[in-house]
């Protein structure tokens, strides 16, 4: 269309450049604005995990599917909408919309976000008192962490993800519910990104079997398979052992150990259920 400067391809259209290959039912280009749109069964394959790739969650190519795609040339930003899904290696992100910014190498998912991230294997750690080793053992393969939230932002250069608004994270080790959750990833044995550490903040609840811990902040360390609760008035509720309160509470998944720390000059409060 000479008047509008728009070029439209229909019927199994394919568009590719040095980094991506996109197929859709229809594709259109606006020669005046440089905008590119794809409609209907959109599938994009990011051919390389480096050199400007946005997700960079694994050495394998990344794939994104959605009903609609809009790409702006300046800045180079792609928005997949109508229900988008991205997967690369073992990591998966699903949301109402996924936006990729090549310039800043940032990914932002919004609207009913569901994501899956593999986690780093545990490392056997022997306590200073010579007790039972902590962790699940070198070389073991723990299950992935599944997270839900309203928004997710991932910075590829920092290997860091921020989830906000009604966040729930679940794994075999337990569940975290909070207003905000930061995930810190590191390179795994196969080159893919794996969860190393997670930090939750804002009305935090941690559940692990019959236990329920509350605090203003909680940290999960994958290598040691432990939760650390701090901030506010950390409290751990246990159906069998009663209630424990302290400045900081640490409990290990591997050997069912709880460490209670109190502030200097204050007491640690522990309540135990008494059988009648």
Average pLDDT, integer, range 48-72: 82
Strands (E), 47-158: 62-72, 77-88, 91-101, 106-117, 145-155
Q: What is the pLDDT of residue 131?
A: 46
Q: How confident is the model at residue 138 (pLDDT cuts 50, 70, 90)?
A: very low
Q: Coil, strand or helix: which one is 144?
A: coil
> What's the pTM value of the predicted model, to 2 decimals?
0.85
Residue 123 confidence (pLDDT): 53
How confident is the model at residue 271, as a pLDDT? Answer: 57
pLDDT attached to residue 135: 40
Report d(CA 166, CA 91) in Å as an integer.
Answer: 21
Which one, of 47, 119, 114, lies nearest residue 86 by Cα?
114
In the prediction, which pLDDT does 19 show?
A: 84
Selected residue with higher pLDDT from 46 and 4: 46
pLDDT at 132: 45
* pLDDT tens digits, one per residue of 150-162: 999 999 989 999 9
183: left (phi over 0), alpha (psi -120 to 50) or beta: beta
- The answer to whether residue 39 scores a pLDDT higher than 90 is yes
User: For residues 56 and 248, which has the higher predicted lDDT (pLDDT)?
Assistant: 248
Most confident of 56-60, 71-75, 92-96, 205-209: 92-96
Per-residue confidence (pLDDT) for residue 270, from 0 to 100 = 56
Give the rounded percent of residues in the chain with a pLDDT score beyond 90. Answer: 51
Determine the longest span between alpha carbons in the chain, in angstroms.
88
pLDDT beyond 90 at 276: no
Band the pLDDT of 139: cuts 50, 70, 90.
very low
């Amino acid at each position: 269309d000479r008047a509008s400067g728009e070029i439209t391809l229909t019927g199994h259209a394919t568009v590719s450049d040095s980094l991506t290959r996109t197929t859709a039912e229809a594709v259109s280009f606006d020669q005046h604005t440089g905008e590119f749109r794809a409609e209907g069964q959109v599938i994009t394959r990011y051919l390389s995990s480096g050199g400007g790739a946005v997700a960079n969650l694994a050495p394998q190519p990344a794939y994104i599917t959605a009903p609609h795609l809009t790409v702006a040339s300046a800045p180079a930003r792609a928005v997949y909408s109508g229900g988008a899904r991205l997967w690369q290696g073992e990591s998966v992100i699903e949301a109402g919309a996924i936006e990729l910014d090549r310039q800043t190498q940032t990914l932002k998912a919004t609207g009913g976000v569901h994501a899956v991230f593999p986690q780093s294997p545990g490392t056997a750690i022997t306590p200073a008192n010579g007790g039972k080793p902590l962790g699940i053992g070198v070389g073991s393969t723990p299950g992935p962490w599944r997270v839900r939230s309203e928004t997710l932002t991932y910075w590829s250069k920092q290997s860091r993800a921020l989830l906000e608004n009604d966040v729930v994270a679940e794994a075999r080790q337990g569940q975290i519910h909070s207003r905000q959750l930061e995930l810190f990833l590191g390179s795994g044995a196969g080159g893919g990104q794996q969860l190393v550490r997670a930090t939750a903040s804002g009305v935090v609840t941690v559940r692990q079997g019959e236990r329920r811990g509350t605090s203003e902040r909680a940290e999960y360390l994958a290598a040691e398979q432990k939760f650390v609760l701090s901030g506010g008035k950390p409290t751990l509720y246990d159906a069998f052992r009663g209630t424990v309160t302290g400045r900081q509470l640490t409990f290990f998944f591997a050997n069912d150990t709880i460490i209670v720390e109190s502030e200097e000059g204050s007491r640690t409060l522990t309540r135990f259920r008494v059988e009648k």
